[in-house]
Amino acid sequence: MTELQTKIVRHEAKVGVIGLGYVGLPLAIEFARAGLDVTGFDVDRERVASVNGGKSYIVDMSNDEMREILSTGRFRATDDFSALAQMDTINICVPTPLRKTKDPDLTFIVSAVRSIRDNLRRGQLVILESTTYPGTTDEVVQPILEESGLKAGRDFHLAFSPERIDPGNPKFNTRNIPKVVGGLTPACSAVARSLYEQCISEVVPVSSTRVAEMVKLLENTFRSVNIGLVNELAMMSSKLGINVWEVIDAAKTKPFGFMAFYPGPGLGGHCIPIDPYYLSWKAKMHDFEPRFIELAGIINESMPRFVVDRITEALNHHSKSVRDSNIHLIGIAYKRGVNDVRESPALNVMKVLIEKGAKITYTDPYVPRVREEGLELASTPLEQALSNGCDCAVILTDHSEFDYAYIARSARAVVDTRNALREFDGENIVRL
């Protein structure tokens, strides 16, 4: 056992987590709960102040939980990255968006790694958790860190462990989701495994950083491709006059060889709409054309316009056009139970409707205000919206807080993209 492993097991190690978002903050909390001394790093001073004030800004962490862990003295946040020099282990949990050209944007990773490089010392452990393409750890992170004069695998430990958090999931969280870990060397893997074993129920070691990086991309590309398939089936079923939701419910009674996926207004969030393009980009660098992956992306990206087509049909039934119609969007977060609108298909639906001249309002208990590309709207109470001359309501995110019986009863026309009105029938209901 190395000196660092001994410090980790004895809970004497100082743990740093860069990026206090939906991944980094819960991870930092779990390390602190396990008895480790944890410092969270973030460039956002408002976020740092919120953490130190015991105020949570993510749905999976309550203010009471924040205050409880802060009271132990084992967790604090800072925007002073020079404190990285005092850390024994450092986890990088920063965003990895796409550029408009759908190329990987590693700006946040590179910035975090440079901060570590400037404060790197012998014996430290650095783990990248941000989702990225296979090869990022040894092709990008390692060379930058070695600019310090220290050698990865000899002077410091380097590993990759993909984040797997599912915001808003009441069953699976940071603690009970198995953690995949791949080190630059076997010794790097062993030290990283020791760290995660302090607070995570199961750690799954793999042979390299590249394997670990590929694991996350496989997981999310699997979802993207299967959602693309069922979205295409939904569009096809609409043409054939078939209820796609009934088809899926019947198909999933097969006890083998089938896994149910569901259509929707498009893909949203921090992972599934983005990660397959990281894999696609890397494949093209090696002269491999990932046609299957990119076709799924094309289908999924077409869903917002398909939703607008269904809205148009619903309005036409009432002799209305999209232009000048009052259309109320029900839910704009990318998934139920969260306050995150990143890559939300609802925003694309909203954008297309505005382009067509519709008058838009929305309700979302998790998103009180939305500001996107010059658009600024505030959430409107649902009852107020439906009683004030709403021509069509559109269910885009099926939050549990919504009264779906009221929606089915009160909306003049409602387009349901999530099968939230499965228990209701009516000529006013148009399903995806």
| Catalytic residue set | 271
Calpha distance 23→270 (Å, rounded): 11
φ and ψ at 307, to 5 degrees?
-60, -45
Helices vs. strands in the chain: H and E counts, helices first: 15, 15
The residue among 24, 146, 39, 17 whose CA lies nearest residue 91 is 17
φ and ψ at 397, to 5 degrees?
-135, 120
- Alpha-carbon dihedral angle through residues 263, 269, 271, 275, given to the nearest 10 degrees: 80
Burial annotation 11-28 (CB, 10 A radius, 16+ → b, else e): eebbbbbbbbbbbbbbbb
Calpha distance 131→274 (Å, rounded): 9
Helices marked H in 100-149 = 107-117, 136, 142-146
Amino acid identity at 257: G
Q: What end-to-end distance do the CA atoms of the chain give, in Å?
A: 57
Amino acid identity at 289: E
The residue among 226, 205, 206, 218 whose CA lies nearest residue 282 is 218
